[in-house]
């Protein structure tokens, strides 16, 4: 007798199992497909668009009289910021104004102007009476140091409606450093050729964050020679504290104090007696006809930064003065190249090397109205600066 080993028709239990498995498989397919799709593709890309800020560019003036951006202000206003001064190792107002064509110390002596202070001429006109500090007129016949200056604003054109009586060619406004709601310390020390020695301290401290109370202190000492001049010497010390209230409120109060003590040997110029006299020109005297200045820097990997610039000045013309004995009617044009290199050792320290007048060109920086003397331009000089940030 043989036993039945198979069935022709499935049992009701097995028949019910087959549709159940098919339904379960169908339900799992979307899940498996979604899992495969998720593992195969990454997160959606994210794009961020932002404008990189330039260390040299300023969109607004520090003066409250200019409420619109510079691009919408119908006046020529050039702003020279602190990073540019630091890269060029500029220490005085005359050094900073080298970046502005047609503005500089082109005139030497006579008529109330002396070489003991900033004798600034702008487009042929005396600008020593239109120098402002935080929009307040500064009439001191001194050599202004920029250790406590955040930026220099040079306004070209008629400025009587903004600052009152002054020069018909513009004005210069020095914006001082003010306290900020941040704890920071910056120490700089410079040593270079021609016996250059200089040290500065910039210390800022929050006293009360809730009330917006902060204190800032800037110190400076310098004992340096003048490149190309063996007798001239500059020795000055500066002390500039500043206290601010309400930095986090619309109403802010600032108390500023500046003390400068100088013991300088002024530059009396080089004698021109014996040179052939000239009648002179009746064309914008004591200012170059054409001038050009540029500066650029490149930030490289591994903490290196390279920078350099060119300065061109046309010849300085002397006016038609009958008593100008021994002074040519004009001086020669010249080019000057400056370079710098810096290296970030770590986030608290960096070193910077500056070479001014790289090719050691000889040129005349300023001339005397009644003749007899002129000031030569700075000879090539090298300085090494260490900056420390805390």
The end-to-end CA distance of the chain, in Å, is 103
Tens of pLDDT along 367-386? 766 555 777 888 999 999 99
Q: The pTM is what?
A: 0.78
Tokens of 346: 């770590």
Nearest to 252 by CA among 184, 180, 185: 180
Identify the DSSP state of 303: G
Cα 377 to chain centroid, rounded: 22
Q: Which residues contact 311 (CB under 8 A, 6 or more apart)?
A: 98, 291, 292, 293, 335, 336, 337, 338
Q: pLDDT for 336-364, tens place per residue?
A: 999 999 999 988 999 999 999 999 998 88
Residues 367, 286: contact at Cβ < 8 Å?
yes
Q: What Cα–Cα distance (Å) separates residue 287 from each residue in 73, 77, 315, 367? A: 26, 19, 8, 10
Q: Which tokens go with 390?
A: 């805390």
pLDDT at 366 over 80: no
CA gap 279, 188 in Å, rounded: 49
Range in 5-9, 45-49, 248-252, 336-340 with the lowest mean pLDDT: 5-9
Confidence of residue 213 (pLDDT cuts 50, 70, 90): very high
User: Which two tokens mark 9?
Assistant: 């028709």
Cβ(188)–Cβ(387) below 8 Å = yes
pLDDT of residue 292: 86
Q: Is residue 224 over pLDDT 70? A: yes
Residues facing residue 245 across a β-bridge: 253
Radius of gyration of the chain (CA): 34
User: What domains sit in the chain, N to C, each tagged with a CATH number?
Assistant: 70-389 (2.40.170.20)
Residue 274 vs residues 171, 271, 321: alpha-carbon distances, Å:
38, 9, 17
**Under 8 Å CB-to-CB from 121, ≥6 apart: which residues?**
103, 104, 105, 106, 107, 127, 286, 287
DSSP string, 69-82: -GGG-SSEEEEEEH
Taking CA 176 as the corner, what is the angle to CA 83 and CA 155, rounded to the nearest 5 degrees?
80
* Torsion of the alpha carbons at 303, 99, 132 and 142, rounded to the nearest 10: 90
pLDDT digits (tens, 9 = 90+) for 243-271: 999 999 989 999 999 999 988 887 777 76
If pLDDT is split at 50, 70 and 90, which confidence band does 16 have? very low
Q: What does the pLDDT look like over 65-107, one tens digit per residue?
A: 888 898 898 888 899 999 999 999 999 998 999 888 878 776 6
Q: Which two tokens stand for residue 147?
A: 């250790």
Burial class (CB in 10 A: 0-12, 13-18, 19+), 384: middle
Residues 302-314: pLDDT tens digits? 899 999 999 998 8
- Tell me whether residue 347 is exposed, middle or buried, using C-beta atoms within 10 angstroms of its C-beta: 0 to 12, 13 to 18, 19 or more: exposed
Distance (Å, whole) CA 344 – CA 350: 4
**What is the tens place of the pLDDT at every residue in 102-158?**
787 766 655 434 555 777 888 777 788 889 999 888 887 788 999 999 999 999 887
| Residue range 200-206: mean pLDDT, rounded | 96
CB 341 within 8 A of CB 319: no
């Amino acid at each position: 007798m043989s036993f039945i080993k198979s069935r022709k028709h499935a049992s009701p239990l097995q028949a019910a199992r087959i549709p159940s498995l098919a339904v379960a498989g169908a339900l799992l397919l979307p899940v498996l497909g979604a899992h495969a799709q998720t593992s195969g593709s990454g997160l959606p890309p994210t794009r961020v668009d932002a404008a990189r800020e330039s260390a040299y560019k300023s969109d607004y003036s520090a003066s409250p009289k200019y409420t619109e951006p510079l691009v919408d202000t119908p006046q020529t206003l050039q702003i020279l910021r602190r990073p540019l001064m630091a890269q060029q190792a500029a220490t005085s107002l005359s050094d900073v104004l080298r970046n502005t064509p047609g503005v500089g110390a082109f005139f030497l002596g006579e008529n109330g102007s002396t070489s003991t202070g900033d004798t600034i001429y702008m487009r042929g006109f005396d600008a020593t009476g239109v120098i402002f500090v935080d929009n307040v007129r500064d009439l001191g016949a001194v050599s202004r140091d920029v250790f406590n200056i955040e930026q220099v604003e040079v306004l070209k054109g008629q400025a009587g409606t903004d600052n009152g009586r002054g020069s018909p060619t513009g004005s210069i406004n020095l914006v001082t450093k003010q306290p900020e709601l941040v704890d920071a310390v910056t120490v700089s020390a410079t040593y270079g050729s021609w016996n250059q020695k200089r040290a500065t301290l910039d210390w800022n401290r929050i006293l009360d964050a809730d009330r917006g109370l902060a204190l800032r202190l800037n110190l400076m000492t310098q004992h340096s020679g003048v490149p190309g001049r063996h007798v001239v010497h500059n020795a000055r010390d500066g002390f500039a504290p500043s206290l601010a209230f309400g930095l986090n409120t619309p109403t802010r109060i600032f108390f500023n104090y500046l003390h400068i003590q100088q013991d300088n040997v002024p530059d009396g110029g080089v004698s021109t007696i014996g040179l052939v006299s000239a009648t002179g020109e009746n064309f914008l005297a004591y200012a170059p006809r054409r001038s050009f200045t540029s500066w650029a820097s490149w930030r490289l990997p591994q903490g290196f930064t390279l920078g350099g610039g060119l300065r061109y000045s046309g010849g300085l013309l002397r006016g038609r003065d009958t008593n100008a004995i021994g002074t040519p009617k004009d001086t020669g044009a010249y080019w000057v190249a400056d370079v710098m290199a810096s290296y970030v050792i770590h986030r608290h320290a960096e070193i910077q090397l500056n070479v001014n007048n790289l090719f050691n060109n000889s040129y005349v920086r300023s001339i005397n109205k009644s003749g007899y003397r002129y000031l030569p331009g700075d000879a090539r000089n090298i300085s090494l600066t260490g900056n420390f940030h805390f």
